[in-house]
Structure 1
Amino acid sequence: MSDSWKTKEVLSQCQCFPLVIVQGFMGRTESRIWGDFEKHLNHDCHGCERRVIFASVGPVSSLHDRACELYYSLAGGTVDYGEEHSMAHGHARYGRTHAKGLYPQWSSENPIHLLGHSLGGPTIVKLQYLMKHGHFGPLAHPDWIRSINTISSPFRGSQAVYSLGERVDAAPKIRPFSVGAMLSKFVHTISYFSPILPKAFDFHTESRRMTFSDISIFCLLKKMWKSEWAQSYDAAPYDITFESADKREANLEGQPHPRTFYRSCATYLTEKVEGKENFHTTTSSSLLSLNPPLFFLARAMGSFDFSTIQPVPSFLEETQNPVDMEQGLLTENYRKNLPEEYWANDGVVPLFSQWHPAACSSTRCRHVKTKIPAPGVWYVEQWDNTSHMTLVPFWVASDCQKQYWLNLGRWLRTIELQTQTLECH
């Protein structure tokens, strides 16, 4: 048997499903700065080239809205947020129309791999949850998703959102003059002028009527003073709170689908502070990997006082910390009982939140590397000395970036070969 025949046989059997990339909060860069990662992704594909699709979703929208936009951008058609959802949150039921989807043949026979960075991870999980519950009709099925892969994703929330402005005692309200308040004004301004701005400033806010074609300048000023969008339960900032994450867990969102493969990459850059319980901090060398805002945010997250959060997050109750029943808050002793992964972080998301949706006690998970993955199990890999932006989206061709994409390509190929073997039998 000649080597050329073997090569042709491998190529004929090769079935590389597309990889759909979903970016995180404020992510609108697409392939412009993601760089030349594909040659590492395709390194072990035996000559074939995996298609990579950047899906466009609202960079500041809620997980529900982002998941709906993701589905219709791939399958095609008019975005339908759902009658019940749109009425509950006061926006139009329908969004933009995609005359032709990015992957119109999407089906059980033509599945996809999904990769989400940061908020892109929970967006993908929400998509599969909605598919499971028939939100997109009887034909859409969770089997259409062959694998879910995430990087630095806040599945269980992040204290960063409180440090930036979300009220710890009354989310989704925002503290005046905070970073979050300034950000909401920026979003309203960009959305108002979006019809005449470049595509990079498309925030997918057409269902909320926020442009100059929909509202007056006086109305814009009123929204900038008090934003009903930013301070609602249907926006990205609230979905990053611990309260929102608890609601998703109560609905069993993120429970592994038995025929989907799961892999999360959890990153952290902080180090434990000796002599101060389980607190974490950044070091001076961290400035080489973090920009100044993330450097100081990582420090704030590393010493965050979880006892101020109302209602008490479920992960704190899991650790059997004592609660002051009159105040509805944790007692000060909780710091001794809470493991350090709740303060260890990558500048945006605490380590424990990046593992997977829900607690390990209620999720099939394995925190080890494996060469033969099984469907329906969350596989978790931890990357130390790695910030929220180290692996993606800014391509600098570092060794860790090359290694991540090389490993991801091998992981996806292993899944596909394993699936082909099962189908043959």
Structure 2
Amino acid sequence: MIVKWWVTAFQLTELFVSSLVHLSYGFYLFSTAVAGDVSQSVTNWIFKPKFEGNKEIKSSNDLPPIVLVHGIFGFGEGRLGGHSYFAGAEKKDDRVLVPDLGSLTSIYDRARELFYYLKGGQVDYGEEHSKACGHAQFGRVYEQGHYPEWDEDHPIHFVGHSAGAQAVRVLHQMLADKAFKGYENTSENWILSITSLSGALNGTTRTYFDGMLLEDEKLIMPVSLLQLCRIGVIVYEWLDIPWMKDYYNFGFDHFSMTWRKVGIRGLLDYLLGNAGPFASGDWILPDLTIQGSIKLNRHLHTFPQTYYFSYATKHPTKVMGFAVPSGIRGIHPLLFIRVLQMSQWRHPQHVSPPYKGYRDEDWWDNDGALNTISMTHPRLPVEHPSCLVIKDSDCQPLQRGIW
């Protein structure tokens, strides 16, 4: 009994510290973005610059664009003031595009948004999907696409970080399946290459530590970090403060969760789990569980004419047969505990393994957010063609259709 109380106390303490760290970091990013914009406005007012910036355009119209797709809680160009998710890559070349997708919306919804960001028009989530998930069929309008000429003769390079890699793979399959109404000429050859940076290609055990239930990937533990996140997002969306959403948007506008449309009663429904994305499971965390990724991957292919690259990361090392973080020097202190947790992962015995041949130790290597086994190449439920490369020179000449 005493041991049980100690375990509970430790879990609550961990939840408090983790919540405080995440909240503080989010407030830091938001406040520095606002402060940066205010400072820039004052500077421009005082000095009245006659030119804007010093961006050097190094691109050529003969080169295909590179589209950088952010992961969970990420943001695209134009959000959070002067902050850049990809370290300012979009500011160095006008052929580098960083779309602003829903930071917590489902992989499916993000893939749809990505298509219309490039081609232009109003985002169409599909009638069947929209009805099943309880949101509007149509979303944001792009008056002008960022690359409207996109087709088989003008293919694109995609780079996806974390969950962004899966969003690109789902988009790739949609292009092959001609899933966009009014665009019957799409094909898998619209994408020249896909590069995955620490991509969530097979899910992550981090989702379970943060609150997703192993028994049902759509449900959240009553007391968990994700439960607090859910409540915070619902309140943020319901308040619908325009200037705040201009800085950061979770992407749930198509659910119409604003107080103007649902009132107090609607807010209670969302908080009680009777409606909204968290009730229907149409948000990103269920897609990042191992079970959710397996369901998603069943319909995704590796295509023979596309180049595939993946970069995997890990921080644990083996000490006396146990996986432990490789050291404070090589990892941010705030991630140290997360790496340690994931390197000691044990699948509960009362829950069936997610796939045949599952072993805990296969999932121990991680970078604090994702398991290394998930980053290398799609392998669940079917192993996709792959080749482990240590040096870049080992993969010359480049081969299509293989990770």
- TM-score range, shorter-chain basis? 0.7 to 0.9
Could you list the per-position Cα deviations for residues 23-55 of structure 1 after superposition, in whole angstroms to 9, with x for gaps in the alignment?
00010254723334479xx8xxxxxx5611011
Does residue 304 of structure 1 match 2:345? Answer: yes
- Offset of residue 230 of structure 1: 2.1
- Offset of residue 186 of structure 1: 1.6
Q: Distance in 2 between matches of 1:250 and 1:114?
A: 21
Does residue 128 of structure 1 match 2:172? Answer: yes
**Counterpart for residue 246 of structure 1:** 294
Q: Distance in 2 between matches of 1:312 and 1:200?
A: 41
**Counterpart for residue 353 of structure 1:** 374
- Offset of residue 257 of structure 1: 1.2
Could you list the per-position Cα deviations for residues 297-354 of structure 1 after superposition, in whole angstroms to 9, with x for gaps in the alignment?
211111111245844212xx135xxxxxxxxxxxxxx55xx44xx2100000000100
- Offset of residue 64 of structure 1: 0.4
CA shift in 2, pair 1:227/1:269, >3 Å: farther
State the identity %.
29
Does residue 32 of structure 1 match 2:71? Answer: no
Question: Conserved in 1, the CA contact under 8 Å of 2:328 and 2:336?
Answer: no
- Offset of residue 15 of structure 1: 3.2
Equivalent residues in 2 for 1:178-193 (5 A)?
178-193=224-239
The AA in structure 2 aligned to 1:290 is H
CA shift in 2, pair 1:116/1:125, >3 Å: same
**Counterpart for residue 216 of structure 1:** 263
Q: Distance in 1 between matches of 2:156 and 2:316?
A: 34
Q: Find the partner of 2:123 among 58, 67, 79.
A: 79
**Counterpart for residue 177 of structure 1:** 223
Q: Distance in 2 between matches of 1:373 and 1:81?
A: 35
CA shift in 2, pair 1:144/1:29, >3 Å: closer
Aligned pairs, how many? 333
Secondary structure of 2:139's aligned partner: strand
Question: Conserved in 2, the CA contact under 8 Å of 1:175 and 1:181?
Answer: yes
Equivalent residues in 2 for 1:188-207 (5 A)?
188-196=234-242, 197-207=244-254
**Counterpart for residue 397 of structure 2:** 372
Question: Conserved in 2, the CA contact under 8 Å of 1:256 and 1:376?
Answer: yes
Greater relative contact order, per chain length (Cα 8 Å cut-off, separation 6+)? 1
**Counterpart for residue 387 of structure 1:** none
- Offset of residue 243 of structure 1: 0.9
Q: Tell me whether 169-178 or 237-246 shows the greater mean CA deviation.
A: 169-178
**Counterpart for residue 329 of structure 1:** none
- Offset of residue 156 of structure 1: 0.6
Could you list the per-position Cα deviations for residues 74-119 of structure 1 after superposition, in whole angstroms to 9, with x for gaps in the alignment?
1011111111111221211111111111111111111111111111
- Offset of residue 145 of structure 1: 0.8
Secondary structure of 2:159's aligned partner: strand
Could you list the per-position Cα deviations for residues 213-255 of structure 1 after superposition, in whole angstroms to 9, with x for gaps in the alignment?
222134224422436422433210100011111112332x1x2
Question: Conserved in 1, the CA contact under 8 Å of 2:70 and 2:161?
Answer: yes
Q: Find the partner of 1:318 among 345, 354, 357.
A: 357
Gaps of 5+ in 1: 1-10, 43-48, 320-333, 379-425
Secondary structure of 2:240's aligned partner: helix
CA shift in 2, pair 1:227/1:12, >3 Å: closer
Question: Conserved in 1, the CA contact under 8 Å of 2:205 and 2:370?
Answer: yes
Q: Distance in 2 between matches of 1:160 and 1:216?
A: 34
Question: Conserved in 2, the CA contact under 8 Å of 1:58 and 1:204?
Answer: yes
The AA in structure 1 aligned to 2:324 is T
Gaps of 5+ in 2: 1-57
CA shift in 2, pair 1:195/1:265, >3 Å: same
- Offset of residue 272 of structure 1: 2.0
The AA in structure 1 aligned to 2:320 is E
Q: Find the partner of 1:260 among 289, 292, 306.
A: 306
The AA in structure 2 aligned to 1:367 is L
**Counterpart for residue 110 of structure 1:** 154
The AA in structure 1 aligned to 2:262 is I
Does residue 275 of structure 1 match 2:316? Answer: no
CA shift in 2, pair 1:182/1:359, >3 Å: closer
Secondary structure of 1:79's aligned partner: strand
Q: Tell me whether 365-374 or 106-115 shows the greater mean CA deviation.
A: 365-374
CA shift in 2, pair 1:232/1:32, >3 Å: same
Does residue 159 of structure 1 match 2:159? Answer: no
Question: Conserved in 1, the CA contact under 8 Å of 2:175 and 2:190?
Answer: no
Question: Conserved in 2, the CA contact under 8 Å of 1:184 and 1:227?
Answer: no
TM-score normalised over the length of structure 1? 0.73
Secondary structure of 2:365's aligned partner: coil
CA shift in 2, pair 1:122/1:13, >3 Å: closer
Q: Distance in 2 between matches of 1:363 and 1:126?
A: 15
Q: Distance in 1 between matches of 2:184 and 2:66?
A: 24
Q: Tell me whether 302-311 or 100-109 shows the greater mean CA deviation.
A: 302-311
CA shift in 2, pair 1:118/1:77, >3 Å: same
Q: Distance in 1 between matches of 2:216 and 2:382?
A: 29
Secondary structure of 2:232's aligned partner: helix
